[in-house]
Amino acid sequence: MTTTSQQPVEPPRARGEGESRGPGRRGWLLLAAVVVVQLVLTLIAVLPQLSPRVSGTEVMLRVGPVDPIDPFRGAYVDLDYPDLPDPAFEGSDSDDRGTAYVALRQEGDVWVGGPIQRSEPDGLFLRCDDSGWRLECGIESWFVGQSAALDLEQSVRDQDAIATVRVDRWGNAAIVDLSPHEG
Amino acid sequence: MSVASPSPSPVPTTAERHRWLTGELREWERDGLLTPDAAAAIADRYVVTAETGRRITPVRVILGLGAVFVGIGLIWLVAANVDELSPLVRFLLVVVLWLGLAVAAELTRDLVSAALRLLTAITAGAVVFQAAQSLQVPAYRPHLLLAWGLGALLYAYARRSRAAGFVGITVLAVWYVWQVMDAGGGIVTFTGAVLLASVASVSLAVLHPPAWRGFGRLWLTLGAVMSLIGVFAAAVPYSGDGDEWSEGLTAGIVLALGLAAAALWRSSRDEQIELGLAVGALVLGLVMSLWRPMTYDDAMVPDELSVAMWLRTGLAILVFLVVAGGWAVVGARRGLPVVSAVATVGVVVFTTFQSFAVFAPIISGATLFIAVGVVMLITGVVAERARRRIGSEVRS
């Protein structure tokens, strides 16, 4: 058998032949670095929702929920926001669609959105995307247990619900609570 | 044999085959058919590598399946959304479990370590999904798969785990197809993007140095699967709105062909065939995608079919059969039974799809199956006769 650079088969090693368990210091460091990078990737993936939770302003929005399932994350309540603009009625050209800004203003207990804008408005606003069939602002899903999702859906079927949303200064939004509308 | 040719690079083989060969060589040497030098020279032409030395044993299968089941169960547990624990506690539990598995994989050896690395790579997905669930990231976001796939792939290369690499590459492939479909650019964009990914994957497979050939085989498998999906989509005869060329496709072509050129620079003959197959599928797939004489409003009524429609439909079948046949041969030559199996299943699925979706109003599915089968049998018979003739010429 020749030697080769193609990972020749190593003979089976017996335990206790002076070998130390584990990959060695360099191996552990490499593993730690990989783990850190994986955690950073996870952080980047959830950053638009993490940032407003940490530094955002809290607003209340009216919602109308339905109840589907995400294969990786389970039952959730899919949320529609009647007080935010609907891209179908905004009349934007499909070429213009993409990042959409919605200024928020308070009306009574809840906040409502103005028309879709293409540049950052002053004050509190949502940074959304209207390239799809509906406006997506990162607050369209509320994940709860299966039974809780059903209960929630039934309790708000005939009335509005209120979503408590935190919005940061860049317009990122994260939903932090969902409850039936009192009154 | 007057001129000594440079010694070729050793041919990888399995330990079992190598044992058989060296045993036979000893016999021939004893019988005086070979000199000891000649026997040694022949033996030196073959080498047992780690990849070919890896055999599918029952223990490997059980450990692998166990890891996959536990991993899927963990992701399922995340999806169960256990309300009794707060979102932060759930996330921390999953992270601790993931880190524990990563450490355990380092402290164990061989098959157990490989299974734990596979499980660690899957559990990384549970970490991403739990984080997203805890922070109420909206449902059906493909970028979560991107985070999982990239992380798993990085872990796989860092720890040289092919099993983890399989997870990373599979997840990235699913993310890519999902992202492309999400972009909603029509079937031309979809076909082009998938076929470009195929060229890029095969090129990456070639660019892997010999010590990383196991990972190269994973990329080659992905390239073959993407190639089949792309040509399948290109064969669909109808077209609709949005089926136009996009700038993204142009950029993708530049990138993929750049990779292919770099791969070609350092490729062997077999690898050149693989690259040629992927690039050929890309070109033919794009041509068929752009040449769609039918719209969704057209019915496949034989009397209304133009010559162009007939030509296009026949060409689509021919292209798929050639590409699938090519990948089946690559799978057989490379010892990648998965590629051969996928290509074979692809032909069956493709023929069934064409029977029902396209040809149903023209000829029966049974007729199409028989026609395709006869073409393949004739091709096989011709190939077998050619192989025998070459063999007899070499012997003479």
When pLDDT is cut at 50, 70 and 90, the band that residue B121 belongs to is very high
User: How buried is A72 (Cβ within 10 angstroms: 0-12 exposed, 13-18 middle, 19+ buried)?
Assistant: buried
**Which of A2, A3, A4, A7 should one mutate to test binding to chain B, selecting the residue with the greatest count of B CBs within 10 A?**
A7
For the whole model, what pTM was predicted? 0.74
Q: Are B206 and B274 in contact (CB under 8 A)?
A: yes
Mean pLDDT, range A142-159, rounded to an integer: 73
Q: What pLDDT shows up at residue B238?
A: 66
Q: What pLDDT shows up at residue B299?
A: 54
When pLDDT is cut at 50, 70 and 90, the band that residue B66 belongs to is very high
Q: What pLDDT shows up at residue A105?
A: 93
**Interval A94-123: pLDDT, tens:** 667 789 999 999 988 889 999 999 899 999
Question: Of A23, A42, A145, which is closest to B106 when you measure between CB atoms?
Answer: A23
- With beta carbons under 8 A apart, name residues in chain B contacting A8: 47-50
pLDDT at B243 over 70: no
When pLDDT is cut at 50, 70 and 90, the band that residue B363 belongs to is low
* Chain A closest-CA separation from residue B372 CA (Å): 38
Mean pLDDT, range B309-338, rounded to an integer: 87
**Which of B137, B148, B215 should one mutate to test binding to chain A, selecting the residue with the greatest count of A CBs within 10 A?**
B137
Q: Greater confidence, B180 or A139?
A: A139
pLDDT at B362 over 70: no
Q: What pLDDT shows up at residue A3?
A: 38
* Chain A closest-CA separation from residue B81 CA (Å): 5
pLDDT at B53 over 80: no
Q: Are A128 and A137 in contact (CB under 8 A)?
A: yes
Of B134-143, B197-206, B382-391, the one with minimum mean pLDDT is: B382-391
**Interval B327-361: pLDDT, tens:** 998 988 888 888 988 988 888 888 777 766 666 55
Q: Are B319 and B284 in contact (CB under 8 A)?
A: yes
pLDDT at A43 over 50: yes
**Which of A30, A41, A61, A172 should one mutate to test binding to chain B, selecting the residue with the greatest count of B CBs within 10 A?**
A41
- With beta carbons under 8 A apart, name residues in chain B contacting A9: 15, 48-50, 53
CB–CB contact B48 A33 (8 Å)? no
B107, closest residue in chain A (CA to CA): A22
Q: Is A38 helix (H, G, I), strand (E, B) or coil?
A: helix
**Which of A5, A29, A35 should one mutate to test binding to chain B, selecting the residue with the greatest count of B CBs within 10 A?**
A35
What is the rounded average pLDDT for all residues in chain B? 83
Mean pLDDT, range A33-40, rounded to an integer: 94
Q: 3-state SS string over chain B?
A: CCCCCCCCCCEEECHHHHHHHHHHHHHHHHCCCCCHHHHHHHHHCEEEEHHHHCCCCHHHHHHHHHHHHHHHHHHHHHHHCCCCCCHHHHHHHHHHHHHHHHHHHHHCCHHHHHHHHHHHHHHHHHHHHHHHHHCCCCCCCCHHHHHHHHHHHHHHHHCCCHHHHHHHHHHHHHHHHHHHHHHCCHHHHHHHHHHHHHHHHHHHHHHCCHHHHHHHHHHHHHHHHHHHHHHHHHHCCCCCCCCCCCHHHHHHHHHHHHHHHHHHHCCCHHHHHHHHHHHHHHHHHHHHHHCCCCCCCCCCCHHHCCHHHHHHHHHHHHHHHHHHHHHHHHHHHHCCHHHHHHHHHHHHHHHHHHHHHHCCCCCCHHHHHHHHHHHHHHHHHHHHHHHHHHHHHHHC
**Interval B245-296: pLDDT, tens:** 666 677 788 888 888 999 988 888 889 999 999 999 999 998 888 887 766 5
Q: How many interface pairs between A and B have CB atoms less than 8 angstroms apart? A: 160
**Interval B153-179: pLDDT, tens:** 999 999 999 999 999 999 998 998 888
**Interval A69-85: pLDDT, tens:** 777 777 888 888 888 99
A67, closest residue in chain B (CA to CA): B139
Question: Of B15, B125, B146, which is closest to A9 when you measure between CB atoms?
Answer: B15
pLDDT at B3 over 60: no
Mean pLDDT, range B91-117, rounded to an integer: 94
- With beta carbons under 8 A apart, name residues in chain B contacting A25: none
* Chain B closest-CA separation from residue A182 CA (Å): 23
Q: What pLDDT shows up at residue B284?
A: 93
When pLDDT is cut at 50, 70 and 90, the band that residue B37 belongs to is confident
Mean pLDDT, range B123-143, rounded to an integer: 92
A72, closest residue in chain B (CA to CA): B79
Q: What pLDDT shows up at residue B315?
A: 87
Of A16-20, A64-68, B199-203, B234-238, the one with minimum mean pLDDT is: A16-20
Query: Rounded distance, CA B276 to CA B255, Å?
Result: 16
Q: What pLDDT shows up at residue B382?
A: 73
